């Protein structure tokens, strides 16, 4: 699959930024030329075979290439892996998520995996063993004898809390990450490009007589895709044999999920509970699973959406829900049949949630309560009536669920629901006279009810942040990611259009999105704008590629006066254009960064000298220090901009 010019440029820049010039030269040629054998690669890059091989080894080690060796001729073709190259920019985000969920030690492990590429467990262990005496010399080097967890617990509070202290701990961390899917065992298929895999499977599955007709072809295609997915999912079994201690997700009283903390509370304590007796197969080769990381990133952006729309506490609850669902979702884009079956299971009940949610999240907060006389009940009844209808339309209504529904709706009425101002009354303002917050000591039951209120809020939102799918365990909840991500995309597009074309352009685009194709004459009526203004705006947007016009002649001679002009707004097309623009913007940011760095080359080399590194403050002069701060500030700003653009790429492309 070939990418746009800007995407290619961006990928080349990212590889250059991360792995240096040699690799990026090879990678650029591969991106531009498609798959090439080593001889042709040498021709195009003008590199010596030795340089070329070294470069290829680095790229393969970092999973940036696919290759395919032809069985007949023995020639190996190399092909660039765009997605992996793009994922380089996400490494910061991935590390942050891992740190948030599993603590600093896990982050350190993931960082090492990113650094080393795909790595054997044994090699990783060896690397840590080698590291230990130097960096961790003064602490208890031989911690495996007694009270390992205790030792670790001590150090958690100390300086070295990002250090992994023992092999057992390393294995436990790896196990935990594998369980969560952030890292995955490597197999040969991961180095085969999707096209090659397709061809290979097609060869296997193609019936002797070939296919006839569209239907058969379609069947074949589905069969091939299914098989491909199966092949991809065929990973080496990493679970330690005969050691089935690990409880299933969230079921056991001591499940890991229970200890994952959302807020800053007690993350560091995690390592105390890790089961150090786990030993992974030392021959197992591991790497980062970017697909799964994307799922986590998607959850993050959904949580921030919930935070924006409803409130902080509710967004915490939502984060927990998404986290419980995550194990069932191997990747963001669900394509094949098998995956969608998998997705069916992705739901969570209120009871499960309440068992798992951290006690640091105070679910009593976030939903305001008003005293009875302050509520205009008539209005609320109307509102809730509307809502109930809407809910019933959406929700699977077996008897149990619907009774739940009405019951909880009444609760919600009491609690002050959704669109009324009480929900906005944040917990930070307890002094507000109208709204009081429940401060009763929470027993389990009331906590459950409050949790349910939050969930109801999420479900009642216009964007369908949550949907109800059953009545078991006090209500089963699931998330319809496809529509949600579509909403996310719409929100972002709206922002973009508003920024670029003003209020009127935004209005016109939304009208077109709602009505589909619209005649030029109808547009001014809908938009309440003058024909002239409408035309100016539409042409402006057409030039940017956001809307376009279709001519439908009413008779054969196609006279302008006898032609209907239909304006339309094609979401997919606009998305593609926006994506390309974002790629371009990102690569410009990175290029700018390069230029800035080059201008400050002297100070950067000075700061990177081995005698200066780490103690810049002491060694460098005030002037130099200022320069250094300046360039670092610039770097931070540019990288932040790139990271924000990457969020958009995530929303428009990956999620």
Partner 1 sequence: MSDLPPGDDNRGGGKDRFPSGKDDGYSPGARLPSWMHAIKAQHINDESNTIVNDVHRAFVEGYTPGHGGQKVKDWMADAEWRPSLYPANFTAQNPAGMTSQRATPREQFDPASGGEPPHLDIPRHTTCYGRINKKRSGAKFQDHRSSSADMSRGGRGGARGGGVKGQTWDFDAEFKGDFTPSEKFPAYKVPIPAPVTEKERKEIKHYKDLQDQIHQGPLYTQPSKRDPNAPAKTYSEDQFNERYGVKSKADVDPFTGVPTYTQKYEQKKRVIPELSGRPFNKEFFPKELWDTLEGEEGDDVKAHINRIAKKKALMLSGQRTDLDPSEKAKALLEKIQNVAEEGDEDAEPGEEEAEEEDYDYEEDEDEMGGDYDGEQYFDGGENDEDDGDGGNGGDDY
Is 200 or 434 the residue whose CB approaches partner 1 more closely? 200
Residue 285-304 contact track with partner 1, rule CB under 8 A, x = bound: x-------------------
Contact pick of 3, 40, 83, 96 for partner 1 (by CB under 8 A): 96
Nearest distance, CB of residue 56 and partner 1, angstroms: 6
Is 28 or 294 the residue whose CB approaches partner 1 more closely? 28
Binding segment (CB under 8 A) for partner 1, from list 106-114, 133-141, 203-211, 392-400: 106-114
Residues 301, 651 contacting (CB under 8 angstroms): yes
Is residue 496 within the footprint of partner 1 (CB under 8 A)?
no
Contact pick of 120, 200, 235, 447 for partner 1 (by CB under 8 A): 120
DSSP class of 189: G
With CB under 8 A as the rule, give the number of residues binding partner 1. 69
For partner 1, the binding residues in 576-605 under the rule CB under 8 A are: 591, 598, 605
Contact pick of 3, 17, 420, 579 for partner 1 (by CB under 8 A): 17
- Length of the chain, please? 655
Is 104 or 276 the residue whose CB approaches partner 1 more closely? 104
Is residue 628 within the footprint of partner 1 (CB under 8 A)?
no
Binding segment (CB under 8 A) for partner 1, from list 61-69, 214-222, 257-265, 380-388: 61-69
Backbone angles phi, psi at 370, to 5 degrees: -115, 150
Contact pick of 7, 28, 302, 404 for partner 1 (by CB under 8 A): 28
> Whole-angstrom Cα distance, residue 609 to residue 631?
17
> Whole-angstrom Cα distance, residue 96 to residue 90?
10
Residue 635-654 contact track with partner 1, rule CB under 8 A, x = bound: xxx-xxx-xx----------
Q: Could you tell me the strand order of the sheet in which 36-37 lies?
A: 36-37, 76-80, 65-69
Binding segment (CB under 8 A) for partner 1, from list 20-28, 410-418, 436-444, 548-556: 20-28
Is 121 or 364 the residue whose CB approaches partner 1 more closely? 121
> Whole-angstrom Cα distance, residue 264 to residue 348?
24
Nearest distance, CB of residue 643 and partner 1, angstroms: 6
Nearest distance, CB of residue 18 and partner 1, angstroms: 6
How far apart, in Å, do the first and last CA atoms of the chain sit? 19
Residues 64, 81 contacting (CB under 8 angstroms): yes
Is residue 314 within the footprint of partner 1 (CB under 8 A)?
no
> Whole-angstrom Cα distance, residue 355 to residue 444?
10
Alpha-carbon separation of residue 2 from 15, 24, 545, 574 (angstroms):
18, 18, 21, 19
Q: How many CA atoms lie within 13 A of 493 on its CB side?
A: 26
Contact pick of 4, 5, 34, 92 for partner 1 (by CB under 8 A): 92
Alpha-carbon separation of residue 357 from 259, 322, 461 (angstroms):
9, 12, 22
Binding segment (CB under 8 A) for partner 1, from list 311-319, 320-328, 348-356, 633-641: 633-641
Binding segment (CB under 8 A) for partner 1, from list 15-23, 208-216, 342-350, 409-417: 15-23
Binding segment (CB under 8 A) for partner 1, from list 315-323, 398-406, 540-548, 607-615: 607-615
Residues 152, 163 contacting (CB under 8 angstroms): no
β-bridge mates for residue 370, sequence order: 435
Residues 134, 163 contacting (CB under 8 angstroms): no
Is 144 or 190 the residue whose CB approaches partner 1 more closely? 190
Contact pick of 7, 11, 29, 31 for partner 1 (by CB under 8 A): 29
Contact pick of 191, 273, 515, 565 for partner 1 (by CB under 8 A): 191
> Whole-angstrom Cα distance, residue 594 to residue 597?
5
Alpha-carbon separation of residue 397 from 263, 346, 406, 459 (angstroms):
35, 19, 11, 14
Is residue 532 within the footprint of partner 1 (CB under 8 A)?
no
Number of other CB atoms surrounding residue 209 within 10 Å = 6
Nearest distance, CB of residue 121 and partner 1, angstroms: 11
Residues 537, 570 contacting (CB under 8 angstroms): no
Nearest distance, CB of residue 253 and partner 1, angstroms: 32
Alpha-carbon separation of residue 118 from 183, 297, 532, 651 (angstroms):
10, 22, 60, 28
Residue 465 structure tokens? 């942040």
Number of other CB atoms surrounding residue 555 within 10 Å = 8
Is residue 45 within the footprint of partner 1 (CB under 8 A)?
yes
Nearest distance, CB of residue 334 and partner 1, angstroms: 27
Is residue 39 within the footprint of partner 1 (CB under 8 A)?
yes
Number of other CB atoms surrounding residue 35 within 10 Å = 19
Among candidate residues 445, 456, 448, the one with its CA nearest the CA of residue 413: 456
Binding segment (CB under 8 A) for partner 1, from list 48-56, 256-264, 328-336, 414-422: 48-56
Q: Could you tell me the strand order of the sheet in which 347-349 lies?
A: 347-349, 476-478, 467-470
Residue 230-269 contact track with partner 1, rule CB under 8 A, x = bound: ----------------------------------------
Contacts made by residues 528-533, CB under 8 angstroms, sequence distance 24+ = 529/504, 533/504
Is 49 or 385 the residue whose CB approaches partner 1 more closely? 49
Is 221 or 597 the residue whose CB approaches partner 1 more closely? 597
Contact pick of 11, 172, 186, 363 for partner 1 (by CB under 8 A): 186
Is residue 307 within the footprint of partner 1 (CB under 8 A)?
no
Is 55 or 103 the residue whose CB approaches partner 1 more closely? 55
* Torsion over CA: 45, 50, 53, 55 (sign): negative
Helix (H, G, I), strand (E, B) or coil at 19: helix
Contacts to partner 1 by CB under 8 A: 16-23, 25, 28-29, 38-39, 44-46, 48-51, 53-58, 60-62, 67, 69, 76, 89, 91-93, 95-96, 99, 107, 111, 114-115, 118-120, 123, 126, 186, 188, 191, 285, 499, 591, 598, 605, 608-612, 635-637, 639-641, 643-644
């Amino acid at each position: 699959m070939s990418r746009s010019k800007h995407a290619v440029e961006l990928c080349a820049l990212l590889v250059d930024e991360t792995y240096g010039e040699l690799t990026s030269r090879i990678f650029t040629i591969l991106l531009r030329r498609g798959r090439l054998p080593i001889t042709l690669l040498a021709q195009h890059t003008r590199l010596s075979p030795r340089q070329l091989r070294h470069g290829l080894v680095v790229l393969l080690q970092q999973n940036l290439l696919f290759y395919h060796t032809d069985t007949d001729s023995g020639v190996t073709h190399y092909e660039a892996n765009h997605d992996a190259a793009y994922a380089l920019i996400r490494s910061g985000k991935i590390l942050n998520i891992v740190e948030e969920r599993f603590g600093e030690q896990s982050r350190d492990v993931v960082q090492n995996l990113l650094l080393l590429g795909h790595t054997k467990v044994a090699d990783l262990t060896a690397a840590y063993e080698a590291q230990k005496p130097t960096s961790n010399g003064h602490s208890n080097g031989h911690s495996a004898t007694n009270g390992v967890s205790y030792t670790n617990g001590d150090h958690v509070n100390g300086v070295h809390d990002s250090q992994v202290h023992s092999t057992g701990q390393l294995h436990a961390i790896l196990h935990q990450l594998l369980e969560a899917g952030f890292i995955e065992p490597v197999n040969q298929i991961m180095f085969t490009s999707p096209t090659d895999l397709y061809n290979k499977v097609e060869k296997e599955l193609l019936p002797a007589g070939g296919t006839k007709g569209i239907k058969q072809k379609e069947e074949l295609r589905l069969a091939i895709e299914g098989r491909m997915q199966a092949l991809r999912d065929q990973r080496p079994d990493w679970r330690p044999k005969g050691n089935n201690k690990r409880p299933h997700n969230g079921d056991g009283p001591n499940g890991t999920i229970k200890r994952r903390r959302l807020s800053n509370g007690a993350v560091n304590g995690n390592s105390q509970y890790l089961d150090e007796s786990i030993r992974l197969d030392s021959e197992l080769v591991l790497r980062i699973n970017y697909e799964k990381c994307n799922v986590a990133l998607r959850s993050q952006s959904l949580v921030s959406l919930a935070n924006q729309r409803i409130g902080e506490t509710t967004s915490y609850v939502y984060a927990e829900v998404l986290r419980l669902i995550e194990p069932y979702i191997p990747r963001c884009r669900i394509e094949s049949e098998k995956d969608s079956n998998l997705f069916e299971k992705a739901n969570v009940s209120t009871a499960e949630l309440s068992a798992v949610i951290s006690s640091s999240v105070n679910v009593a907060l976030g939903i305001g309560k008003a005293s009875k006389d302050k509520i205009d009940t008539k209005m609320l009844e109307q509102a809730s009536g509307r809502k109930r209808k809407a809910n019933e339309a959406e929700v699977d209504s077996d008897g149990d669920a619907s009774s739940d529904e009405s019951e909880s709706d009444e609760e919600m009425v009491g609690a002050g629901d959704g669109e009324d101002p009480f929900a906005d009354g944040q917990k930070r303002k307890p002094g507000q006279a109208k709204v009081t917050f429940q401060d009763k000591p929470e027993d389990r039951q009331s906590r459950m009810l409050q949790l349910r209120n939050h969930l109801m809020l999420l479900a009642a939102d216009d964007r369908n942040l949550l949907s109800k799918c059953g009545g078991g365990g006090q209500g089963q909840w699931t998330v319809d990611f496809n529509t949600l991500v579509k909403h996310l995309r719409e929100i972002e597009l709206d922002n973009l259009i508003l920024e670029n074309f003003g209020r009127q352009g935004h209005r016109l685009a939304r009208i077109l999105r709602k009505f589909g194709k619209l005649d030029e004459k109808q547009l001014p009526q809908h938009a309440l704008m003058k024909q002239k203004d409408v035309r100016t705006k539409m042409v402006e947007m057409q030039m940017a590629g956001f809307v376009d016009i279709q001519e439908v002649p009413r008779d054969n001679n196609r006279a302008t006066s006898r032609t209907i002009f239909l304006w339309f707004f094609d979401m997919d097309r606009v998305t593609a254009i926006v994506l390309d623009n974002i790629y371009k913007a990102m690569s410009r940011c990175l290029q700018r960064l390069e230029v800035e760095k080059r201008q400050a080359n002297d100070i950067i080399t000075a700061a990177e000298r081995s005698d200066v590194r780490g103690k810049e403050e002491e060694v460098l002069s005030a002037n130099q220090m200022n320069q250094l701060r300046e360039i670092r500030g610039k770097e931070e700003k540019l990288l932040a901009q790139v990271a924000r653009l990457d969020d958009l790429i995530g929303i428009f492309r990956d999620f």
